């Protein structure tokens, strides 16, 4: 097989013809063949949208209105032949662009790194064995298995399908579900959307199972052919960033007006128009928080990186912000709150006590302790009947490789296979002896799996699943002394007792089907046929809670976040786990899917009342998850919901934070989620919330610093103007001030580490904006303190007989100190600077020290000091300015003390 476009008409060929064409077999390719083909066909991937180069990011920096303003200033300086000023302005311009480049490049980098974490995978059959592989290694001829929730990794001609339906909207744009059938034969003219014996790369499997042979990979797939239109999609900006861009816009306009006013007044007082224009530009540059949107992007992407380290992959930047304001986590049980290592511990047959099963993990070593007066032979018969019924409708694979047991597939199914081994039933032998004719695969909304097998020349069905579903299928039950009429009460009580101990309980049933056996015809198995069966027994599996879950739940409580469990499992099992983990205790905190169903017909209010009191939602169908999320949202909650299956997608989409499981989750769940938890662990969600809150707090710190310092400069100038004094700073001095105090420090604040109290406060009200009362109070207070003190100092210096140049020199030093110290004030809204270790944010410390050194350096650099109008300063003057500057710290400290005492005196 050589040419890539051999197979454009794969849908017209028979399965055998296709397999021949791609030189493959139902057992799949051999590894060596596959590797050779990869050389011919290349990796199965679409070209990535290229990330912008450094050069293009650099060029982009010059496309901002602020830069135009600066350019204008440079040109004006040239026009009035102030060449050194002009040179300085151009240097500032370059440095500003450099800082912007650094910031944007960083944000871009972390976005890229996260993208590569999300590579697709596929189940491939090679040399008769199933492997879970990186989808990029697929080649034409590979046999690929798909199941509900999966994303199709390449174009496939189906060779086998069960109840298979897919969403092909990426390709066809139609959101209707397409039903697929391997047995169809189609004509060449069949349009893409109707090629129902094919699966196309990029489509999502809604229900069922399928198996197909790869006919095209990478750019040769139907998706590849339209790939250019799918690529190049721009990432959406976080709403917070958009709000801040708008905000910056508004400030720009206000500052612009102030500047115009300033120029107007000064000119009427006799200043020269050009020099005033220059100053207006400089003031605008300093006061406008132009770095804000980028600094915020950095803060959010730093949050994103930190979350990635804690196992939380953020798929949309908005989730960083959203995670921070979560008030409710609706979590899965299995694998999230529990370790997802299921082990069969107890089995129970009608009219018998519970029998223990020993052994741990996947190692099929262990025995069944039959506590009974039965003879060995009768006990063995019961056990092997149960083991067989658990083994046949089972999709997991348990195999021994190099002496190690390895499992693949659903963890419930795996535990059952391990149990079968312990019971002396080998799954492979069993399947050879009783070939499978049809199957109803397990889907969580069905709560059972069934298979139709040929046993001793007769067709027999085997069913395993929840007792609630199986009981109505059974008329009789298998006892040691034969088949009897079923006793549903006793069996239900048995299951209840097992569930109350936290076990996940599965029931088994089987029975002969009254159908003519025809080995050649294909048999169908439908749910309607599952009737008149014989109940076999119960299996109880333990799945211990994750050791860290209890701690994480306690953290949630301290953080004012409600935790609840949404599970398809038995209410007793769910409550037992919830008790162990510590978020529910009383039986009335459990609500079942049936109760919810009834409440729906009783009306929305009834439903909301039910949801409000519940901490455990049990026997819930996946579709009900959406109703639960919507009800919680109606009650004002900001909901994070977890999900793993295809049918969790609506709930994941509706919730403010959709959390998909990285290990257990299907592709569909991951694609619709906002964040993915790589280890499926509940405590990772809590860690994500902590980081989300921190990121949001850091965003506030950046905003606080930039706005309050900008406002301070405006106040200083306004006061000087009102007092009729000469302007307190030259244009170049303002630019210098902006350069040494803002560029790096705001970014440094984005890296601020945790204060340790993120999870010890209630969640931020979701509708509360950044500029709440605290923010406004602090900003006004700081800006007024800086502006008036700087003005007072200037005023006093002039009155004391200093020259204007000398006074400006000191005021500039004071402002540099103010703004540098203010960076430390910004580190926390509640904690005193004196209790915060400055080494915890080395970038901030370094940038502040660098700013001071730069300023001192500039004073003694010939040429530069002339341009900036700087003069040497003796140490007394220096110390005096520092003491004055410290007043700002005192004001901020006083505010923190006042606020903390106030919040503590509240109830
Ligand atoms: N592999 C399986 N085969 C047959 N029945 C199963 C299987 N797995 C689970 N069940 C039945 O379906 C019920 C629901 O299980 P499911 O795994 O869907 O719950 P879930 O909603 O995913 O819960 P959790 O939050 O615990 O993951 C179980 O209680 C069990 O009775
Ligand atoms: Cu068998």
Using a pLDDT cut of 70, give the percent of the chain over it: 93
At residue 505 the predicted structure's pLDDT band, cuts being 50, 70 and 90, is very high
Tokens 């037992």 appear where?
576
> Which ligand is the nearest neighbour of the Cα of 435?
2
Measured from the CA of 505, which atom of ligand 1 is nearest? 31
Ranges 330-344, 527-541, 766-780: which has the least confidence:
766-780
pLDDT band at 520 (very low <50, low <70, confident <90, very high): low
Q: Cα of 221 to ligand 1 centre, how many Å?
A: 35
Whole-angstrom Cα distance, residue 473 to residue 517?
22
| Selection from 439, 434, 438, 430 nearest residue 521 by Cα | 438
Atom of ligand 1 nearest to the CA of 566: 25
β-strand pairing of 204-216 with 143-147: antiparallel
DSSP, collapsed to helix, strand or coil, labels residue 651 as: helix
- Quick one: which ligand is closest to 433's CA? 2
Give the residue, by CA position, lying nearest to ligand 1 atom 14.
568
pLDDT at residue 76 is higher than 70:
yes
What pLDDT sits at residue 621?
87
| Counts for the chain of helices (H) and strands (E), in that order | 32, 27
User: Is residue 866's pLDDT more than 60?
Assistant: yes
Q: Which CATH architecture has domain 313-338+546-678?
A: 3-Layer(aba) Sandwich (3.40)
Say how many Å lie between the CA of residue 515 and the centre of ligand 2: 19
Q: Which atom of ligand 1 is least distant from the CA of 464? A: 4
Looking at residue 224, its pLDDT comes to 77
pLDDT beyond 80 at 754? yes
In this prediction, residue 725 carries a pLDDT of 86
| Mean pLDDT in residue range 663-692 | 87
Best of 506, 544, 663 for a ligand 1 pocket test (most atoms within 8 Å of beta carbon): 506
* Residue 232 pLDDT: 40
Cβ contacts of residue 863 below 8 Å, gap of 6+?
84
Q: Domain map of the chain by residue range?
A: 1-235, 276-308+691-753+775-905, 313-338+546-678, 343-540
Ligand 1 atom with the smallest distance to the CA of 446 is 12
Q: Is the pLDDT of residue 104 over 80?
A: no
In contact, 124 and 144? CB cutoff 8 Å: yes
Fold held by 1-235: 2.70.150
In angstroms, the CA 38 to CA 85 distance is 62
Say how far apart CA 37 and CA 142 lie, in whole Å: 10
The pLDDT of residue 234: 41
Which atom of ligand 1 is nearest to 416's Cα?
1
> What distance in Å separates the CA atoms of residue 726 and residue 719, rounded to the nearest whole number?
11
Average pLDDT over residues 260-279: 76
User: What pLDDT was estimated at residue 521?
Assistant: 60
Q: Is 413 in the pocket of ligand 1 (CB under 6 A)?
A: yes
**Ligand 1 contact, 567 CB (< 6 A):** yes
User: What is the phi/psi pair of residue 660, to 5°?
Assistant: -100, 150
543 close to ligand 1 (CB < 6 Angstrom): no
Query: What is the per-residue pLDDT across 693-740, written as a single tens digit (0 to 9) for each?
Result: 998 899 889 889 988 998 899 899 889 888 888 889 888 888 888 888
How far, in Å, is the centroid of ligand 2 from the Cα of 328? 47
What distance in angstroms lies between residue 225's CA and the mean position of ligand 2's atoms? Answer: 47
Domain 276-308+691-753+775-905: CATH architecture, name and number where available: Up-down Bundle (1.20)
Spatial contact of 661 and 336, defined as CB atoms under 8 Å apart: yes
Q: Cα(780)–Cα(785) distance, rounded to whole angstroms?
A: 8
Average pLDDT for residues 1-18, to the nearest whole number? 70
- From the CB of 795, is ligand 1 less than 6 Å away? no
Residue 187 burial (C-beta neighbours within 10 Å; 0-12, 13-18, 19+): exposed
- Placement of tokens 């750019």 in the chain: 219
**How far is 328 from 636, CA to CA, in rounded Å?**
10
Is the CB of 825 within 6 Å of ligand 1? no
Q: How far is the CA of 608 from the centre of ligand 1 (A)?
A: 26
487 as an active site residue: the answer is no
- Say yes or no to pLDDT of 453 above 70: yes
Q: What is the pLDDT of residue 272?
A: 74
What is the mean pLDDT of the segment spanning 762-787?
86
| Residue 468 beta carbon below 6 angstroms from any ligand 1 atom | no
pTM, two decimals, is 0.80
pLDDT over 80 at 785, yes or no: yes
The whole-number average pLDDT for the span 69-89 is: 77
For the chain, the average pLDDT equals: 85
Q: Is the CB of 162 under 6 A from ligand 1?
A: no
Name the DSSP class of 218: G
CATH assignment, 343-540: 3.40.1110.10
Q: What is the mean pLDDT of residues 384-410?
A: 88
Residue 1 has pLDDT above 80, yes or no: no
Mean pLDDT of 581-601: 92
Distance CA 536, CA 464 (A): 10
For the segment 56-63, the average pLDDT, to the nearest whole number, is 77
Q: What tens digit of pLDDT does each residue of 840-859 get?
A: 888 889 989 998 899 989 98
User: Is the per-residue pLDDT at 4 higher than 60?
Assistant: no
> Is the CB of 442 inside a 6 Å radius of any atom of ligand 1?
yes
Confidence of residue 381 (pLDDT cuts 50, 70, 90): very high
């Amino acid at each position: 097989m050589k040419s890539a476009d051999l197979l454009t008409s794969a849908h017209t060929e028979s399965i055998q013809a296709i397999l021949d064409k791609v030189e493959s077999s139902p057992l799949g390719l051999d590894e060596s063949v596959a590797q050779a083909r990869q050389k011919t066909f290349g990796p199965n991937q679409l070209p990535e949208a290229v990330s912008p180069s450094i050069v293009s990011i650099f060029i982009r920096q010059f496309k901002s209105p602020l830069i135009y303003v600066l350019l204008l200033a440079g040109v004006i300086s040239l026009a009035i032949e102030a060449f050194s000023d002009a040179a300085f302005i151009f240097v500032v311009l370059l440095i500003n662009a450099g800082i912007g480049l650094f910031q944007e490049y960083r944000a871009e980098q972390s976005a890229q790194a996260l993208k590569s974490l999300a590579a697709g995978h596929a189940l491939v059959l090679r040399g008769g064995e199933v492997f879970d592989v990186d989808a990029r290694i697929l080649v034409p001829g590979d046999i690929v298995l798909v199941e509900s929730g999966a994303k199709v990794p390449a174009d496939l001609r189906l060779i086998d399908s069960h109840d298979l339906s897919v969403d092909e909207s990426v390709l066809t744009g139609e959101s209707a579900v397409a039903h697929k059938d391997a047995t169809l034969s189609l004509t060449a003219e069949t349009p893409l959307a109707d090629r129902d014996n094919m699966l196309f790369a990029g489509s999502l499997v809604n229900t069922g199972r399928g198996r197909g042979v790869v006919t095209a990979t990478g750019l040769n797939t139907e998706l590849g052919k339209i790939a250019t239109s799918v690529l190049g999609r721009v990432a959406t900006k976080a709403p917070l960033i958009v709000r801040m861009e708008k905000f910056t816009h508004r400030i720009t306009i206000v500052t612009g007006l102030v500047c115009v006013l300033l120029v107007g007044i000064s000119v009427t007082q006799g200043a020269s128009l050009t020099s005033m224009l220059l100053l207006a530009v400089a003031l605008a540059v300093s006061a406008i928080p132009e770095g804000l949107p980028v600094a915020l992007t950095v803060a959010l992407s730093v949050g994103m990186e930190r979350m990635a380290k804690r196992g939380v992959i953020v798929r949309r930047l908005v989730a960083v912000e959203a995670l921070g304001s979560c008030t409710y986590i609706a979590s899965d049980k299995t694998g999230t709150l529990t370790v997802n290592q299921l082990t069969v511990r107890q089995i129970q047959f009608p009219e018998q006590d519970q029998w223990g099963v020993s052994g741990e993990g996947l190692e099929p070593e262990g025995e069944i302790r039959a506590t009974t007066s039965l003879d060995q032979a009768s006990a063995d018969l019961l056990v092997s009947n149960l083991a067989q019924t658990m083994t046949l409708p089972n999709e997991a694979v348990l195999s021994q490789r190099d002496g190690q047991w390895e499992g693949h597939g659903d963890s419930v199914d795996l535990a059952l296979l391990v149990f079968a081994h312990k019971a002396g039933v080998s799954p492979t032998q069993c399947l050879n002896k009783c070939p499978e004719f049809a199957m109803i695969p397990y889907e969580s909304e069905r709560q059972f799996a069934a298979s139709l097998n040929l046993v001793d020349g007769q067709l027999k069905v085997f069913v395993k699943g929840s007792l609630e579903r199986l009981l109505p299928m059974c008329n009789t039950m298998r006892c040691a002394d034969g088949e009897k009429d079923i006793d549903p009460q006793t069996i239900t009580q048995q299951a209840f007792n097992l569930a109350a101990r936290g076990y996940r309980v599965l029931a088994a049933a089987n029975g002969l089907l009254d159908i003519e056996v025809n080995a050649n015809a294909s048999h169908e198995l439908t749910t309607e046929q599952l009737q008149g069966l014989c109940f076999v027994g119960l299996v109880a599996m333990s799945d211990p809670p994750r050791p860290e879950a209890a701690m994480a739940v306690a953290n949630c409580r301290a953080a004012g976040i409600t935790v609840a469990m949404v599970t398809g499992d038995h209410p007793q099992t769910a409550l037992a786990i919830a008790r162990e983990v510590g978020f529910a205790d009383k039986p009335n905190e459990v609500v079942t899917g049936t109760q919810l169903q009834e409440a729906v017909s009783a009306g929305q209010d009834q439903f909301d009342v039910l949801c409000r009191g519940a901490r455990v939602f049990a026997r819930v169908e996946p579709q009900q998850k959406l109703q639960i999320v919507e009800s919680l949202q109606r009650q004002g909650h900001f909901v994070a919901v977890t999900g793993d299956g295809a049918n969790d997608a609506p709930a994941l989409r509706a919730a403010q934070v959709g959390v998909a499981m990285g290990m257990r989750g299907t592709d569909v769940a991951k694609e619709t989620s906002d964040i993915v938890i790589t280890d499926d662990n509940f405590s990772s969600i809590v860690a994500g919330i902590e980081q989300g809150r921190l990121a949001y707090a850091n965003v506030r710190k950046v905003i606080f610093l930039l706005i309050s310092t900008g406002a301070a400069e405006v106040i200083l100038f306004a006061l000087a103007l009102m007092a009729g004094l000469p302007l307190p700073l030259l244009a170049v001095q303002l630019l210098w001030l902006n350069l040494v105090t803002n560029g790096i420090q705001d970014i440094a604040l984005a890296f601020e580490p945790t204060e340790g109290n993120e999870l010890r406060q209630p969640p931020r009200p979701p509708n509360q904006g950044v500029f709440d009362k605290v923010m406004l109070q602090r900003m006004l207070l700081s800006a007024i303190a800086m502006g008036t003190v700087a003005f007072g100092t200037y005023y006093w210096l002039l009155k004391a007989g200093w020259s204007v140049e000398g006074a400006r020199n000191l005021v500039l030093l004071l402002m540099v100190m103010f703004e540098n110290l203010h960076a430390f004030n910004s580190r926390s809204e509640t904690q005193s600077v004196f209790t915060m270790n400055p080494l915890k944010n080395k970038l901030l410390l370094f940038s502040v020290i660098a700013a001071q050194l730069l300023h001192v350096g500039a004073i003694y650099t010939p040429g530069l000091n002339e341009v900036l109008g700087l003069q040497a300063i003796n140490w007394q003057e220096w110390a005096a300015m520092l003491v004055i500057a410290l007043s700002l710290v005192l004001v901020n400290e006083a505010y923190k003390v006042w606020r903390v005492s106030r919040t503590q005196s509240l109830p």
